[in-house]
Amino acid sequence: MTDPQLVARAQEGDLPAFEELVKKYQREIYGLAYRLVLDAEEAKDLTQQAFMQAFVHIRGFRQQAQFRTWLFRIAINQCYNYLKNRKKFGDPVDCDEYVLVGEDSPEEELVAQEDHRRLYAALERLPAKQRAVITLKLEQGLSYEEISKVLGGTAGAARVNYCQALKTLKKYMQNEDDYEVAVRPYPKMVTRISRR
Amino acid sequence: MKWRCALIQRWLPAYPDGDLPSFWQAVVRSHLEKCPACREELAGLEAVVSSIKAAPRHEPDQAFWDNFNRELHLKLAQSVPEPPPARGFRIPYYLLGAPALAGLLLWLAFGYLNPERPGMPPQPQLSQEQKALEQTPAIPRLAAPAPAPEKSEAVVMVSQNGQDLHGDDDLDMDGDLDSTLAGMTETEREAFLKKVRQHEKDGSCTRESLIVSWA
């Protein structure tokens, strides 16, 4: 059954039809929320809240856009509200959470882990909107037109936002080591003293 | 960095996917052929993109999704979809001030400033003769100045005749004793004062009422 048919049945109050939509999109929504809030439990809660909001307001959905785009927009708004309430864009991320068991040699795995650690640390420093643009473009594969429908604005603005986000991310990844030294100078100094 | 490189590098992240407008796609392509710095910048951006795409995603196991769906089903069963919002023509609340102001201005223009508004008394209908008189050019007339009214004389004449006056305008009703006495002869003044003293002794009336009654 296609999305418009499922949506039409859900608008009539058919809960199994809506749950079918949930099963179809829950991984994408969870991945987006996880990338934005960088916390597995919060991402799960935010995904459930997004589906709840979608179900409550599904009768107001006029099917002028795709259901998937509408769902992304709800999820991103939930994440924005969460980040706004937390007053900062992400707690310190434990990068060990991201490490998956690979089939490479131990040296290659160590290098890959270091690359991923730098990537996630740089992603954490990005503003939430730029993180959302990168996630929607590179991980969810949305076009600029669809990104503009999710985040608001025009397609050109989404493209400019993506370019800016990618350049900032590259700069952060290049300067990640310098940033760590600048942010945490005190523990290194203590370590140096204790070695003496 | 040259200004052209700065301009080109603004568009570089969108170049590999071909998302740029055709004009800019051609400009960037021709620039990259002869600029090693921009090629290096593009290689760095592509490395970032490939690292993001290659980064492991957090994929929960099936038990997580079973638990997720069970919790969500309980929440959805307790919630009710809201009715669809009204789709009729509605003015946003922030635009309600303009119609209100326009209505107020219309009311001022046609209601308050119009002399024929409902609150005003109706103007008397002029007859055709009066209208004709108003339309004829006004002829200047010579008129004698009206004689000034002599109130003191009126008081004296009333007292001499001993009759009541019909018009209130001729009487000195303000109760000022000095102004009343100023217009009297000696005999009238003595008679008046005598009467005043007698009534004040009796307490039958006040001085002001006596002045009026005397007049």
- Residue A189 clears pLDDT 80, i.e. is over it: no
Give the pLDDT score at A49. 93
Render pLDDT for B14-57 as a digit per residue (tens, 0 to 9).
Answer: 888 888 888 989 999 999 998 999 999 899 889 888 888 888 77
The answer to whether ipTM exceeds 0.85 is no
| Both tokens assigned to A55 | 């179900």
Which of A106-115, B51-60, B122-131, B195-204 shows the lowest per-residue confidence on average (mean pLDDT)? B122-131
Render pLDDT for B68-123 as a digit per residue (tens, 0 to 9).
Answer: 999 999 988 888 787 777 766 677 777 888 888 999 999 888 877 666 665 555 56
Subunit contact A134:B52, Cβ cutoff 8 A: yes
**Where residue A187 falls among pLDDT bands split at 50, 70, 90?**
very low
3 state SS of B175:
coil
The string of DSSP codes covering chain A is --HHHHHHHHHTT-HHHHHHHHHHHHHHHHHHHHHHH--HHHHHHHHHHHHHHHHHTGGG--SSS-HHHHHHHHHHHHHHHHHHHHTSS-PPP-GGGG----SS-HHHHHHHHHHHHHHHHHHHHS-HHHHHHHIIIIIS---HHHHHHHHSS-HHHHHHHHHHHHHHHHHHHHTHHHHHHHH-HHHHHHHHHHH-
Whether the Cβ atoms of residue B15 and residue B28 lie closer than 8 Å to each other: yes
Whether the Cβ atoms of residue A141 and residue A156 lie closer than 8 Å to each other: no
As a whole number of angstroms, the distance between CA B69 and CA B75 comes to 10
Write the CB contacts of A41 (distance below 8 Å, at least 6 apart in sequence).
none
Subunit contact B55:A163, Cβ cutoff 8 A: no
> Residues of B near A (CB-CB distance < 8 A)?
9-14, 19, 44-45, 48-49, 51-53, 55-60, 64-65, 68-69, 71-73, 75-77, 79-85
| Both tokens assigned to B109 | 């223009």
Quick one: closest CA in B to A27, which residue?
A: B59
B51-69 mean pLDDT: 85
Length of chain A counted residue by residue:
196
| Both tokens assigned to B22 | 């055709």
Chain A contacts of B52, Cβ < 8 Å?
119, 134, 138-139, 169
Can you list the domains of chain A with their CATH numbers?
Answer: 1-89 (1.10.1740.10), 106-196 (1.10.10.10)
Which of A29, A41, A48, A174 is the mutation pick for testing B, counting most B CBs within 10 A? Answer: A48
Determine what percent of chain A is predicted with pLDDT higher than 70.
Answer: 79
Give the pLDDT score at A45. 93
